Amino acid sequence: MIDSSLLKVVATKEYNEEQKKAIAVGFCPECLPTLTDYRILHSFFSEEHKMMVLRVKCSNIAHCEWEEILPGHRLENGLENFFHS
């Protein structure tokens, strides 16, 4: 699952809330309302963003040309200090 706050920083396009939710769970935002997944082309460390990022593309290559750079991880998973509180 992609962190939507990091998506704003890394993504090259602006997305509405419905599209952000689709991206976060692995679907192409351009193919909505059809739920078409995207595939990861490769991951790499981005010097610009100082984190691992994913280059992804819509799986429906015959009808959709959507391609994007997405964050490859969350800055924190929400469980930091959970067991110490």
Q: How does pLDDT run along the chain (85 residues), one tens digit per residue?
A: 566 677 777 887 889 999 988 998 899 999 999 999 999 999 999 888 888 889 999 999 999 999 999 988 654 555 555 565 5
Report pLDDT for 39: 95
CA distance 85 to 82: 6
Report pLDDT for 78: 56
C-alpha distances (whole Å) from 61 to each of 10, 28, 30, 49 are 23, 11, 12, 28
Report pLDDT for 81: 55
Report pLDDT for 73: 65
Domain ranges for the chain, please list them: 4-71
